[in-house]
Structure 1
């Protein structure tokens, strides 16, 4: 059986390191994650790299195509993998993804939010497989997000107990 960390190597993913520099400088004081026992709650992540460069900023369906929104969601999921590593050391410590809250900037009446959010869900399935990577998800239309990002993801997951628990 291939592990999540092995799968990342097979896919050739470049996952950011959130330990250096510390998370949160651009957006002010915030907690990057919170662990309660085996539950890990991540703060929102966007398709913005550590230097602040954004992928496909704007409004999906106006400035950004669905395909570009999908790519932004996929990149956000890759960033989320970096935050998971920062929080629990290894992607192999993930027991199951639980809930994904996906925010998509879109105009009123835009009904294809799920097609954008699939970019994140498909990446999680690619890395973790069906059993661990299937996640309950909500796709929510938003009028704007910080720094004009087109997508933001909040993720909750179950992780294996810390050593000694």
Structure 2
């Protein structure tokens, strides 16, 4: 990839967070062959959840979208810790889980926060396949969780 990812993040005003320690028996990210599989990331700040609640009730769509972008940054931090962001060839797949209030149907708008981040950072290589899924509850009461698959140089 020709983009200096760390410089691009700085230009956009973003800083990678520290990788949050797992809350269970799993790794934040695993490299296998030419892919890095990033575990679901919830919006953590300094080891604490940035918000709790259901989107469409306690959490607005706009706030959830911001939190989705924060999850995307956490995913990039996990990739960076495993192999380095300069090895990323493209973002392949994003799955977003949105803790949704009864009748809430704007999950895609929430997950756009992470998708927009990846496109802003990687350009066309940040465009990806995606699923946006509404769920009843997420770990720790998080409003959003994002998991990512990236292709890296071999």
Q: Say whether the fold is shared (TM-score over 0.5).
A: yes
The two structures, once aligned, show a CA RMSD in angstroms of: 1.4
Tell me how far apart the structure 1 counterparts of residues 27 and 18 of structure 2 sit (CA, whole Å): 16
Length-normalised TM-score, structure 1: 0.87
Structure 2: unaligned runs, 5 residues or longer: none
- Residue 49 of structure 1, aligned match among 42, 45, 48: 45
Residue matched to 2:63: 68
| 4+ long deviations beyond 4 Å | none
CA distance in 2, matches of 1:2, 1:138: 26
Structure number having the greater strand percentage: 2
Bigger radius of gyration among the two: 1
CA contact (8 A) 2:61 2:109 kept: yes
Match for residue 119 of structure 1? 113
For these two proteins, the number of residue pairs brought into alignment is 153
| Runs of 5+ consecutive residues of structure 1 not aligned to the other structure | none
- Paired residue for 1:151? 144
SS at the partner of 2:134? Answer: strand
User: Partner of 1:8 in structure 2?
Assistant: 9
In 2, distance between residues paired with 1:108 and 1:16? 32
Q: Distance in 2 between matches of 1:17 and 1:48?
A: 10
Aligned to 1:80: 75
